[in-house]
Homo-oligomer: A and B are copies of this chain.
């Protein structure tokens, strides 16, 4: 059975197709045939029994408010519906009768903020569908739900009868992309924004400067990009285009200019900003750099005043992110003038000096009408309460802030570069059940942001690092806390992954394209068998390897690890399959057959796989994985043979298998197997 069919059947069988506690459990799905693949799940949904057909001639219309942004959003949604169903969706005159009516009360905020009303309702019967929202943004959220509701079978396409009342649990649901360590062209940013909107994220946090490159044009300080970007940066026109594009999707753009640390790229063209004499060059290595702005000079603040003023004309959002993270204080400690300043101003340590710096920056931001957001480190005594703290340290840091009255968003646990599973991210809650925060304190936690740091991310691999895992994070941030069934999340995640591919994202197709390039042939059937059960090692393992091998931002991201998606379907689905089988091996002949077929394919792939890999220079380092795959396949088949026959394995067999598993658990060519836990469980069941 294929992943999707299985996922859908499981959804029906297990009755997990309805959202959490807030959603009415009804017997309706079986009646209409509706399979709930919504992601994120809505706050409230009641399922009826009817179907509204989408057949040629299907039309929509609008009433109430209308504006260019709403028109654009509806056109975009109807284009996608058209492509899904294969025929033109008609637009009826405003006020005319049509199966789909979209009613929006008004445009919403002129500059979208954290209080934007994103709620909507969707009432679908066998006669009509009615989407109602207070704002354009609410309508966008509802249109995405509408598209996700479309069902199909041999007879055609239809919408299920449902009644949905939906609004987000958190107001700040973001994705940060680091465009400094590796630059991402506008096209990548825009397709990512499309994906974000599809899963109802509403903040694009644009990390525009860091040690490895300054990525946005300043007309006042042209050397920022002229000398600090290796020629890769966004023009102001392009940045404005992104802001407008995001607004068209109901997404805010919060730019980040990291300071006082992570600022090497500023100092390349403007060394007077730094706390050491320089000269500075654009960083190509990773890790924490020493370059730090000089917080003691008036000229530093004059520079920042002009710069922030200029950026404020490009980025209309109420917030501007000023980083503040990972200042190692080395330059400050080595600079006698700064040391003297600290003494004169009674600043006992570099943290105190950074707090002083933050206070000055706050004034500049306020002058330009901006509120501050920064990483944990900005939270120092005396900080105004309207600063938002973004926590890479974790919930405890966030809770400590909330207890002092600070707003915050969570990013710890949502770091996409860590190569964690969607399930791991999904289990991280910005306000965990059982936290000791008062309701007022909990309300200060505005939401969270997935973070795509880009040491190992370029335009080719970024999609598979962000998607589909970010859809699971998006659900955590939108849906009720009670929506927390991991199996059901995965069932819907694979469906959402396909829908995201339909937006032009390449997270699925790039894997095969990369495997073809690595293999040097279009015939990659055997390599697919291996790749399907591999995933990248985690960030730290790769980081250590990179450091010892002198890897920089200039090295290509074209190795096997870069082709492999983190958390591929094989991991969770194989775990689930094995777990079902092991509950009662004798009672699960289908699962047993599926497992045996899988083990057979692992063993059968070996001859072709060895030949292919041994002739492809970039696959040669991973060659031991081909041998191990055969061993794992043999192990699995033997284990099932023992289990199903009831015959005990020979003495030493189990120990030998455990040694094989331990061996296979070692990283090779920066890859790890996805199936080892399940196999260990299988072997452990053998007598």
Q: List residues of A whose CB falls within 8 A of some B CB.
A: 2-5, 82-88, 152-157, 187, 494, 497-498, 501-502, 506, 508-510, 512-513, 516-517, 520-523, 554-556, 558-559, 569, 614-618, 620
Contacts and interface: CB of A to CB of B under 8 A. Distances in A.
Contacts of A512: 509, 512
A524 to B, nearest CB: 9
Nearest to A6: B523
A2 B494 contact: no
A554 B520 CA distance: 39
Contacts of A494: 522
Contacts of A520: 4, 152, 498
Given A508-B522, A509-B510, A87 B501 contact: no
Contacts of A506: 509
A554 B517 contact: no
A93 to B, nearest CB: 18
Contacts of A617: 85-86, 152-157
Given A82-B556, A512-B512, A617-B86, A2 B152 contact: no
A84 B558 CA distance: 8
Given A82-B556, A88-B555, A509-B509, A615 B4 contact: no
A413 to B, nearest CB: 27
Given A153-B615, A509-B510, A516-B508, A83 B523 contact: no
B152 A616 contact: yes
A191 to B, nearest CB: 10
A234 to B, nearest CB: 15
Contact of A86 (B155, B498, B556): B556
- Counting from the closest, the 6 A-B pairs by CB-CB distance are A2-B523, A509-B509, A4-B521, A83-B556, A86-B618, A154-B614
Contacts of A614: 154
Contact of A517 (B187, B502, B513, B558): B502
Contacts of A153: 615, 617
A200 to B, nearest CB: 22
Nearest to A154: B614
Contact of A87 (B497, B556, B569, B620): B556
Contacts of A513: 501, 508-509
Copies of this chain, complex-wide, total 2
Contact of A558 (B83, B554, B559): B83
Contacts of A86: 556, 558-559, 617-618
Nearest to A157: B617
Nearest to A5: B521
Given A88-B555, A506-B509, 8 more contacts: A3-B522, A4-B520, A86-B617, A152-B617, A157-B617, A494-B522, A498-B517, A498-B520
A154 B516 CA distance: 16
A461 to B, nearest CB: 12
Nearest to A81: B556
Nearest to A614: B154
A545 to B, nearest CB: 14
A498 B522 contact: yes
Contacts of A569: 522
Contacts of A83: 517, 556, 558
A522 B152 contact: no
Contact of A523 (B3, B85, B517): B3
A516 B84 CA distance: 12
A643 B508 CA distance: 44
Contacts of A85: 617-618
Contact of A152 (B498, B508, B558, B615): B615
A286 to B, nearest CB: 15
Contact of A615 (B154, B516, B521): B154
A87 B521 contact: no
A625 B154 CA distance: 16
Given A510-B509, A516-B498, A615-B153, A521 B559 contact: no
A56 to B, nearest CB: 10
A11 B364 CA distance: 69
Contacts of A509: 506, 509-510, 512-513
Contacts of A156: 617
A370 to B, nearest CB: 30
Contacts of A82: 556
Nearest to A620: B154
27 contacts: A4-B521, A5-B521, A82-B556, A83-B517, A83-B558, A84-B517, A85-B617, A86-B559, A86-B617, A86-B618, A87-B555, A87-B556, A88-B554, A88-B556, A152-B520, A152-B617, A154-B615, A154-B616, A187-B187, A497-B522, A498-B517, A498-B520, A508-B522, A509-B509, A509-B510, A509-B512, A512-B512
